[in-house]
Amino acid sequence: MKAIFVLLHGAQQDAGVWALTRRHLRRQGYEAWTPSFPGHGIGRSLPALTTIQEMALWVVQNLPAKGSPLVWVGHSMGSLVALEAARLCAGYTRALIMIATAYPMKVAPTLLAQAEHSASSAMQAINRWSFHAVSEQRMASNLRMMGRQPSRSLVTDLRACDEYILDEKGPEQITCPSLFVVAEHDKMTRPSSARHLASRFPQHDFVEISGCGHHILSECPQACGQILSRFIQTL
């Protein structure tokens, strides 16, 4: 049975961020589910969940196909949710893919305060920091996506990342293959932090994309797709 890919978005984003990745997977014959967390996307009218663990439980409870083998894929905040969901569904998890991740995923107090009191300016700052090679079109598209979400969701998401604590034995419980994809010029989640996290997983691959910033899915979609394809072939 082919695995279902569960693609989990980052802070102040929604399922639309996975459009290119989803298309890439479908061309290879894989089904992908791309939910938007409550407080985002089609669920923007709902209150945002306040912890990574709550988000993971929500995803698991809403899986469209119970009992199917799963490949968890998450970007930034979504990578932490994917990690927690993989632990909850260890018996069905075929692989874990964490893109632009870090642990701990601490957020600067100044950014948290800015998100609390001036979400719009915080979004603009995050958008600037998310790209290495400046592309007005990509940056404008990402800012529009962030602006579509309720402004209050931003500080809620950032706090969830900042306050997340990984169970000490968590990585050891994930015995399936795992892949870490990071960007050379990521200013939001440093590659060195991701590398340290990856070293705690029994089976892991680690790939760094050169000349790319935090928003790998938008800035380097082709390179990311090729990396995923090579990894999928090993499963």
pLDDT at 115: 98
Q: Is 4-232 in CATH node 3.40.50.2000? A: no
What pLDDT sits at residue 150?
97
Contact 225, 200 (CB under 8 A): no
Residues shown for the chain = 235
Query: What pLDDT shows up at residue 152?
Result: 96
User: Mean pLDDT, consecutive 10-residue segments, the chain of 235 residues?
Assistant: 94 97 94 97 95 98 91 98 96 97 98 98 97 91 97 98 93 94 98 97 96 96 95 93
> Helices (H) and strands (E) in the chain — how many of each?
11, 6
The number of angstroms, rounded, from the C-alpha of 196 to the middle of its chain's C-alpha atoms is: 18
- Distance, in Å, from the CA atom of 199 to the CA atom of 8, rounded to the nearest integer, reads 22
The pLDDT assigned to 34 comes to: 98
Which tokens go with 223?
Answer: 């390179």
Q: Where are the domains of the chain?
A: 4-232
From CA 189, how far away is CA 101, in angstroms rounded?
6
